[in-house]
Structure 1
Amino acid sequence: MSGRCAKRWAAARHTEPRAKAHPMRLVNDLNDRHSMMQKPPRRLLVISPHLDDAVFSCGALLAAGTDALVCTVFAGTPEMPMVTGWDTACGFSDAHQAMEARRAEDIAALEILGARARHLSFLDSQYADDEAQKRQAIASCAGAGGGQSVARQ
């Protein structure tokens, strides 16, 4: 946010603009805000679109819960071996190796926070290029839950 925009935003909120904070200050701010909660959640379910999203977005909340589960939607591995530019740039030989490493990192990070991981098998956009297959997977998921399918062809 530019300085001029920050001043306008602060004026609208009737507060002074904050200087850019050091990352540890941000973590401490999160901890302070969390400590203001009267009682941390005992059971917590977080639906995360991608691996690492929950850890980066609400790690302090996950650590505060006593029974936290993170369900990551796009954590699947393509059936056929393939290599994307992202896989190569990150030093992986193929998508299978990349997703195995990413899931292991996610599990390790969640364990540090005291949370459990549940990885669904939907493919991230870099691995899924078949729109019909995506719609079919979503429709079958909705149907299995007893709900009405919203996928259209």
Structure 2
Amino acid sequence: MSTRLQQAQPYALGLFRIVTGLLFLCHGASSLFGYFGKEAVSGGTWPGWYAAVIELVGGALIMLGLGTRVAALISSGSMAYAYFTVHQENGLFPIENGGELSVMFCWAFLLIVFTGPGALALDQLFTSRAPAEEAPEVRDGREAVSA
């Protein structure tokens, strides 16, 4: 059972990245363009408009798996900033201050920073590496000679 789960892990991470990126992209689109019944923020206003741009662009990059770790790090930081500057003044815990979404996005993106994009990412098209040469076997401080 565990080997099947291990084989599926890159695909589970990839699907997690795609869904989380899509949700973040939708959040940014709703803030920038007034989609999904939300009022659009005014262009160039701090921090709302800049946050919405990060959400839209970061969400798209994360969803596609392009520059994933950098986009996820910036997006995670953006959500941490949102939590501490907007939500935390209304209460200590996210359930009190309405910051659950910011906290979840922050930690989800931080997870992506450390795990990478998983399968189905465009990053893989640009970072295709030749298989690494096998390291020689070392015994007692000397390389083993193979026949």
Bigger proportion of residues as strand: 1
Calculate the TM-score normalised by the size of structure 2. 0.26
* RCO higher in structure (CA 8 A, sep ≥6): 2
